[in-house]
Amino acid sequence: MAAVPYRYQPLVEATAAVARRFAEASHELYLVGGPVRDALLGLDPTASADLDYATDARPEEILTRITGWADAIWTQGQRFGTIGFLHGGVRHEVTTYRGEAYSPDSRNPEVVFATDIEADLSRRDFTINAMALRLGPPDAADGADLTLVDPFGGLGDLFARRLRTPLDPDTSFTDDPLRMLRAARFLARYVLVPDPALVESATRLHERLSIISAERLRDELDKLMVTDPPGLGLGLWFLVNTGLAAEFLPELPAMALEQDPIHRHKDVLAHTVAVVEKTGPDKVLRLAALLHDVGKPKTRSIGPKGVSFHHHEVVGARMARDRLKALRYPNDEVEAITELVNMHLRFHTYKLGWTDSAVRRYVRDAGPLLGRLNELTRCDCTTRNARRAAQLDKRMDDLEVRIAALEDQEQVKALRPDLDGTAVMKILGLAPGPQVGRAMRFLLDLRLEEGPLPEEEVTRRLQAWWADRPA
């Protein structure tokens, strides 16, 4: 058997059975896109969710080749020429050669089947994704017939760290405007330099993002947000500098505040990008970092002591909620990100000294977001003053030690009132209703302020509060 280049060995093993079935029917079959690109980079080419193929077989012919052999088949993409299936625990998607194009005002492709792989590759987003590996029959005498098809110079671009489109970028971005947003992700993930023509085209055509659904925009943003630095910053600046961000996340470029020549202050947008890059690859945390200062432009004021942004965390939380909802984020993610934005300044009063009750409230209010909130607070320090940075780290270390000590003593994260609702109703002679809820909130405040108290003392305090409540 002929030797298989070591970079391709995982792909040969993963695709051999599929290749054999299509070769038996004399159909062409190419592995395309991400696995080919990643194999050439020396990355795991089978790490993608799916192995994607292009073929001259039509959808009904693809189904003929896999029916009765695949473990599961899905046909939701059949009208676009795609048949998906599961075999041996691996997901595969096979698509008939396409020459699709978008009409100027449509969100959906108009699919036209092509007759050869070069035409199919020409419709792909970027040259580094427009390479294909021909999968011939795994023959005992000659080995797998592996041929790299690269009509647009993707291999050269890959190793030159350059991002280009196969066709003229205006054509590519007009066909599918989401590719402009996808460019930011590939710049970030592979730390690439965008071709000047690509940048110029995205800057010219950014308004075409308006035809893309909020869900698709959100999904691309999510993929960008979990990439690693330093590429993450490259992707974010590309979105801002081309005007793309203004189309779906206008709060981001709005943070590029005009610098005041007298009362100097940090560039809020540059600070925001730096904070995002410091956080770990946690989507919720990074989105909170991206949005934590969006309230600053609306709250900026200049006084005798310089620039201030009073209550920007409150204003920013409302703005973050509105934007996340517009992008159709799930409610639980909206709530988590909004709360992180709202609480991101809470820690900074710790330098004034916190009582145990203040620490309990901080932990209680943060709830399951405590770890993310503390990380956001640490990352929010982007000062170049080493002494100030060390002071902030020391205060956060001290707070976390106190939280751990209180947690050991009192299980702060699971704090509950010292009496349950049944006991409250019995002591106060109440039926179920809103008054019981108010009494329970009083007891929780008491628990947070003073820690655990004897039952007799809690009962006495409850009765006194009830007697003194406003009529």
Q: What are the residue boundaries of the structural domains of the chain, listed by start? A: 6-160, 166-248, 416-468
Residues 436, 432: Cα–Cα separation, whole Å: 6
Q: How far is CA 343 from CA 290, 321, 322, in A?
A: 14, 14, 17
Instruction: Please answer whether residues 445 and 471 qualify as being in contact, where contact means their C-beta atoms are separated by less than 8 angstroms.
Output: no
pLDDT tens digits for range 8-54 = 888 888 898 999 999 999 999 999 989 999 988 888 877 766 899 99
| Minimum mean pLDDT range among 117-121, 139-143, 328-332, 445-449 | 139-143
Residue 361: what pLDDT?
Answer: 84
In this prediction, residues 456-468 reach a mean pLDDT of: 86
Q: Which two tokens stand for residue 299?
A: 């709250």
CATH topology of domain 166-248: Hydrophobic Seed Protein (1.10.110)
Residues 222, 291: Cα–Cα separation, whole Å: 14
Residues 72, 105: Cα–Cα separation, whole Å: 36
Q: What share of the chain in percent tops pLDDT 70?
A: 89
Residue 166 has pLDDT above 50, yes or no: yes
In this prediction, residues 57-77 reach a mean pLDDT of: 94
CATH of domain 6-160: 3.30.460.10
Residues 78, 102: Cα–Cα separation, whole Å: 18
Residue 374 has pLDDT above 50, yes or no: yes
What stretches of 206-311 show up as alpha helix (H) in DSSP? 214-225, 231-241, 244-248, 251-254, 268-278, 283-291, 296-299
Residues 6+ apart with CB under 8 A from 5: 146
Model confidence, pTM: 0.82
In this prediction, residues 84-108 reach a mean pLDDT of: 81
Residue 2 has pLDDT above 50, yes or no: no
Residue 384: what pLDDT?
Answer: 77
